[in-house]
Amino acid sequence: MHRAARIEDALHEFRENRARKRGHQTTVIPYKGYGSTEWVRILSRVLLTRDRKPHRRLPIIGRREEMVRGWRSFTAVPINEVDVTVTVGGVDHQVKADRGGVVDAVVPASLEPGWHTITLRAEDSEPVESQVFIISPEATFGVVCDVDDTVMVTALPRPLLAAWNTFVLDEHARMPTPGMAVLLDRLASGHPGSPTIYLSTGAWNVAPTLSRFLSRNLYPSGPLLLTDWGPTHDRLFRSGREHKRDNLHRLAEEFPTMRWLLVGDDGQHDEEIYGEFEEQHPDNVAAIAIRQLSPSEAVLAGGRSKAESMSDKSDALWVYSPDGSGLAKQLRAADLL
């Protein structure tokens, strides 16, 4: 294991022991998942937190989620490799969190297509409910959408974006990209039963805040596929590009007959990643929609992608526009909207 990972594990163990002595409580933070009629991908995180509002008359889910929003989500203590009981369709399954407290596991299930409620519980925590979207075997279209600079305008230099997400991020502090919520909503309405999956290099810590942002700005409900910052077993920092590539390839393997509309922006890597995916899985790409950053946004993002030629050597449909309205017109002309 990488030295940085060993140091991180030792720090987590120290903080966990100290938090338990102080009476902090085990808390499961649920994230939306997805699956087929035969299996479900469970996503959540297990933390030790202090209930700062014990007398507030709110459901336990709302109180826990409110408690770990913003910068507190990064100071909460993850529980390493804890067992989590997942109840799906009345059947209990045992899964295990990773070294950062993140649960990303697949369990067998027999559920009808659509949204379903599951229950998660770890150690002595209160049971919490989560939502999973079951994709129909007959579904052939879905949307994979980036977050930063695609569904929301960050207007921040890349080096400061992580700090902003960590210490400041609030759903009221971000601006939605003009027309993008309408575009995604029309895509969901025009393809009943199709999934909308948000794929981002952001940390799991900000998932509750991003979910509230998407809901408040009327984006279609869907799973968030985020990552866990920090060292891995063999490297000092996780790769955001590898995170996106791995999840795209995973979706292609899980749903081999699905054709995805890939939505991103031209601020660095989305075009390259989507182009590589289309080259390797041409039958799984319906089209690629790229939001063009404004000159000022491109400067803050560190420049534009240098993959302008991707659309020239690709068989897939590539559409470009600075907003959701322009993308919608081109997708409508291609009978995808």
Give the CATH number of the domain where residue 173 resides: 3.40.50.1000
Q: 172 near 215, Cβ under 8 Å? A: no
What is the pLDDT at residue 234? 44
Burial 211-230 (b: 16+ CB within 10 A, else e): bebbeebebbebbbbbbbbe
162 and 303 together in one domain: yes
206 and 108 together in one domain: no
> Taking 50 as the threshold, does the pLDDT of residue 271 lie above it?
yes
Q: By mean pLDDT, which of 13-17, 182-186, 271-275, 293-297 is the weakest?
A: 13-17
Out of 134, 150, 178, pick the residue that ends a domain. Answer: 134
192 and 112 together in one domain: no
pLDDT tier, 137 (very low <50, low <70, confident <90, very high otherwise) = very high
How does DSSP assign 268-328, residue by residue? SSHHHHHHHHHHH-GGGEEEEEEEPPPHHHHHHTTS--S-GGGGTS-SS-EEEESSHHHHH
> Taking 50 as the threshold, does the pLDDT of residue 231 lie above it?
no
Backbone angles phi, psi at 334, to 5 degrees: -95, 10
Residues 175-198: tens digit of each pLDDT:
899 999 999 999 999 999 999 999
118 and 186 together in one domain: no
Residues 44-76: tens digit of each pLDDT:
999 888 764 444 444 444 444 444 445 555 567
Residues 145-180: tens digit of each pLDDT:
999 889 988 655 555 555 555 555 555 667 899 999
183 and 308 together in one domain: yes
Find the length of the chain. 337
Out of 134, 153, 187, pick the residue that ends a domain. Answer: 134
299 and 314 together in one domain: yes
Chain centroid to CA 336: how far? 24
H/E stretch holding 75 reads: helix 72-75
Out of 67, 102, 134, pick the residue that ends a domain. Answer: 134
Give the structural domain span for 60.
3-134
pLDDT tier, 263 (very low <50, low <70, confident <90, very high otherwise) = very high
182 and 319 together in one domain: yes
User: Who has greater pLDDT, 307 or 161?
Assistant: 161
- The model carries a pTM of 0.83
Cα(72)–Cα(55) distance, integer angstroms: 19
Residues 203-227: tens digit of each pLDDT:
887 888 888 889 999 999 999 999 8
